[in-house]
Amino acid sequence: MRNPLRSEAEAFRFLLITIAFFGAIVAARLLVGTLVALLVAIGGIAAIGWLLQGKSKSRSRGRPAIRVVSDDQPREPREGGDKPGAEDPSGAPHGRSSRRRSGP
């Protein structure tokens, strides 16, 4: 979730959202009743949360993915040596370390 008061423009937008949100609650309370106002409040909070989640997800989707490759990733089979254990004299399967562990 992004900080809504990061800049003046975002703080101003946050103010407008607050006015709309409380305006809806007050209108529901005065025109219909307390229970409806409560439902509007809960619905509004859920909607704002959903919107913020969606925004942060779309923002993270736009970023370039960082690929982290560990040593344990399975390697591409080489030409002429794609049999299991062909590269490794110990016969360990691909993606596993062939190093022997010493005792505890």
Partner 1 sequence: MSSTHAAGAQLHPPVANQSSRVDSRVLGMLLFIASEVMLFGSFFTAFFFVRVVNGPKVWPPQGFELPVYVAGINTIVLVSSSFTVHWALQSIKRGNRAGMQAGLVLTFLLGLTFLFTQILEYARIGFAPHDNAFTTTFFCLTGLHGAHVFVGLCLLAMATTRALRGHFSPEHHQGVEVPSIYWHFVDVMWIVVYATVYVL
CA distance 44 to 17: 10
Identify which of residues 42 and 86 has a Cβ nearer to partner 1 in the complex.
Answer: 42
Number of residues that bind partner 1 (CB under 8 A): 18
Contacting partner 1 (CB under 8 A), which of 14, 87, 92, 94? 14
Distance in Å, CB of 12 to partner 1, minimum:
5
- In the range 26-65, which residues lie near partner 1 by CB under 8 A? 26, 29-30, 37
Distance in Å, CB of 67 to partner 1, minimum:
23
Any contact of residue 7 with partner 1 (CB under 8 A)?
Answer: yes
CA distance 10 to 46: 20
Give the residue from 75, 72, 76 showing the smallest Cα distance to 96: 72
Secondary structure percentages of the chain, helix, strand, coil, to 5: 50, 0, 50
Do the beta carbons of residue 11 and residue 5 sit within 8 Å?
yes
Q: Which residues contact partner 1 by CB under 8 A?
A: 3, 5-9, 11-12, 14-15, 18-19, 22, 25-26, 29-30, 37
